[in-house]
Structure 1
Amino acid sequence: MTLRTPRRPLPAAAVLAAALLAAGCGSSGGSSSGSAPAPKGPSSAKLRAELDKATAVTAASFTPAGGRSLRQVADAIDGTGPQVAFATATIVTGPKQRLAFGVVDPKTGFVYAPTALYLARSEQAKAMGPYPAPADLLLTDPPFRSQNAATESDPFAAIYETTAPLPKPGRYYVLAVSLLGGKKIGAAGQITVIAPGKDRIPEVGQQAPRVDTDTVAAAGGDIKKIDTRVPPDDMHSVNLKDVLGKKPVALLFATPQLCQSRVCGPVVDIAAQLEKTYGSRMTFIHQEVYKDNEIAKGLRAPLQAFHLQTEPWLFVMDRTGKITARLEGSFGFRAFEAAVKTGLS
């Protein structure tokens, strides 16, 4: 997003955080692009204080678009500097579509502050918003943290998330505004929205593909063949094909060890913790991504059946086998739990 005027230029979204926030850590062609190192993060205490503020946000803290263009909204904020990196690659049209993202300062690292999004079809088009985007924590309780986990000392400990109307396919210009140090700071970017079904990925309301998922039994008892998490989780005992249409299922596609971003380990840890709460009512399945856990060998059969080219992905199915929720890219504890509940209602 250019949004450039002599008065206040806003930088376009960069790939500074691609290695941490890019939706999808790889594909059948190999690992994801982007290998930027993680920016240096704040101290644990400071991060926790920032996260507390970032999770409590309302639209009332931000100026209504009020018929102004996105360019005018941008000109009215106090300054720029951070960059926005979207954590979803597959965004479809709809009245309330999920948008997940991170805000990054090139000098100080990830920015956690009350944040909202404004959107428009062009810089001069009328802006929509503000849409509050509270931070969703990637932190689990310590007993559920793997070696791939997010921790309080990790600068990447949460993801912003909101829903917004995306009525038509095409390009949308986005402005993320954060309340930082008593000022409104903007970060600009762009997203591409597609029509439902164009990607062939199963959608909410459709029946999930009846496919075999990997189990410890099928792997001859060697869990390391089907799980790169350290230590391995216990979500590999049930084959999706055996329970689909009989019991609610949360199916998570993720590879904690081979993921080139840092979102795959945390989402598996979140699944492990939620299984302890909802496991008696829902089957949790963790499906690894690459054949023999080698990127060069391509995607495992279940991903191909779901037409996936990125990961992580979460699909929740009710007891009839109908998909009730799907999440892509980075998603925190709140989003994961809300998805699980859709399959139980």
Structure 2
Amino acid sequence: MRRLAIASLLALALTGCGGDTKSDEASKGTEDPAGVPFGDAIREARSVEAGDLPAARGRTLQQIAGRLPAIQLGPATSIYTPGTNRLAFGMLDQTNTFVYGKTGIYLARTPDGRALGPFAAPADPLLVEAPFRSRGAAHPSGEIAAIYNASVDLPRTGKWYVLAVTRSQGKLFGAASTIEVTGNDPVPAVGEQPPRVQTETLASAGGDIESIDTRVPPSDMHGTDFRDVVGKRPVALLFATPRLCQTRVCGPVVDIAAQMQTQYGDQMEFIHQEVYVDNDVSKGYRAPLEGFGLRTEPWLFTIDADGRVAARLEGSFGVDEFRDAVEAALG
């Protein structure tokens, strides 16, 4: 395994919806009390303490990387603005197998710039209970079973260099990438009122569920139009396309939504909106996504009873973040 070179960053997008890559480390372990089979590695990676990772101590990003063996970082978020941001990502080894361990993020403006961090990046499982698993469900022995997320401070616009350090099987590894912080965020932010878009329902589709849901089997989150309910009761609005996803996570996040609906459906409305016109990527995004200014998927917005965005999640998110977003809307 080669030495990590910050100056020649490797960013691997989480593309593709299928595959047979297995992670033996992720598949070890037993089921939790809810019947979800978390692997030992994922269970351990869900908690990150201050002493789990090297302190920055005024060092540069290159110095922290040192001679760490290099793995690959795949960013799962794309919109960053000055201030506090959510940075979600996955990590893969040289065989393209997902890596799970206690993880943190370091940031700098240049490879030899003073590093900020580490910002804790706990793993968030994509695994759901058996009744909610679709054909595209995440599985502990599958190619992706959890996603990392960190809350990071990005005080200025421009390019930032990112180093993720993870402790896996007793060893430290480094994964590098870059992100671009801009002053422009076209997507409805927390505290704002979202556009009152009209989402597609089973009724508006004339009963043709497959035209508005590529999940197998289809979900039951198509009974209500967002325009009819926003501002009247809390809403969880999920933009995702399980079959046509440009990442590996649309199937799992819709499964998570279905599971959350059974837990919170009496308190808020759950709506799933497909992404592409006629379920054809070449035809572009459907009108509700255009209305929200979206250029990536999946996205989750939770809106409180007053009709304001309580939380938003881009790209990939697991059970923990989804639940936090729901509870933010419920107050």
Give the structure-2-normalised TM-score: 0.91
**Residue 176 in structure 1 maps to residue 159 in structure 2:** no
| Cα distance between partner residues in 2 of 1:104 and 1:59 | 24
Larger relative contact order (Cα-Cα within 8 Å, sequence gap ≥ 6): 1
Equivalents in 2 of 1:165, 1:123: separation in Å? 17
2:33 alignment partner in structure 1: none
Q: What SS does structure 2 have at the residue aligned with 1:238?
A: coil
TM superposition shift of 1:13? 1.8
Q: Find out whether 1:271 has 2:269 as its counterpart.
A: no
Structure 1 window deviating more from structure 2 (36-45 vs 109-118): it is 36-45
Pick aligned residue for 1:322 from 305, 308, 317: 308
Alignment pair present for 1:58 and 2:55 = no
The answer as to whether partners of 2:20 and 2:142 remain within 8 angstroms in 1 is no
CA distance, structure 2, for counterparts of residue 38 and residue 105 of structure 1: 15
- Alignment partner of 1:19 is 2:19: no
Confirm or deny: 8 A CA contact 2:300 2:314 kept in the other structure: yes
Partner of 1:240: 226
- Counterpart AA for 1:153: S
Kindly state the Cα deviation for residue 295 of structure 1 after the two structures are TM-superposed: 1.5
1:205-228 per-residue CA deviation (whole Å, 9 max, x = no partner) reads 110101110000111112111111
Corresponding residue for residue 137 of structure 1: 125
Paired with 1:8 and 1:187, the residues of 2 have a C-alpha distance of 7
Q: Look up the match of 2:24.
A: 42
Q: 1:119 matched to which residue of 2?
A: 107
Distance 1:114 1:329, change over 3 A: same
Gaps of 5+ in 1: 26-35
The percent identity for this pair of structures is 51
Take 2:204 and 2:153, find their aligned partners in 1: how far apart are those partners? 44
Q: Which digits, 9 at most, give the CA deviation of each residue in 1:93-152, with x for residues without a partner?
A: 21x311111111022611111111111111122111111111000001110010011012
When residues 303 and 8 of structure 1 are mapped into structure 2, their CA distance, relative to the original with a 3 A threshold, is closer
For residues 248-281 of structure 1, the C-alpha deviation after alignment (integer angstroms, 9 at most, x for no partner) is: 1110000001113210000000000001111111
Q: Show the counterpart of 2:71.
A: 82
Gapped regions of structure 2 (runs ≥ 5): 30-37
Q: What residue in structure 2 maps to residue 300 of structure 1?
A: 286
What stretches of structure 1 move > 6 A for 4+ residues in a row?
none
Q: Paired residue for 1:128?
A: 116
Structure 1 residue 199: Cα displacement? 3.5
Aligned length: 320
Q: Secondary structure at the match of 2:330?
A: coil
2:35 corresponds to: none
Aligned counterpart for 2:217 among listed residues 227, 231, 241: 231
Q: Secondary structure in 1 aligned to 2:232? A: coil
1:173 aligned partner, one-letter code: Y
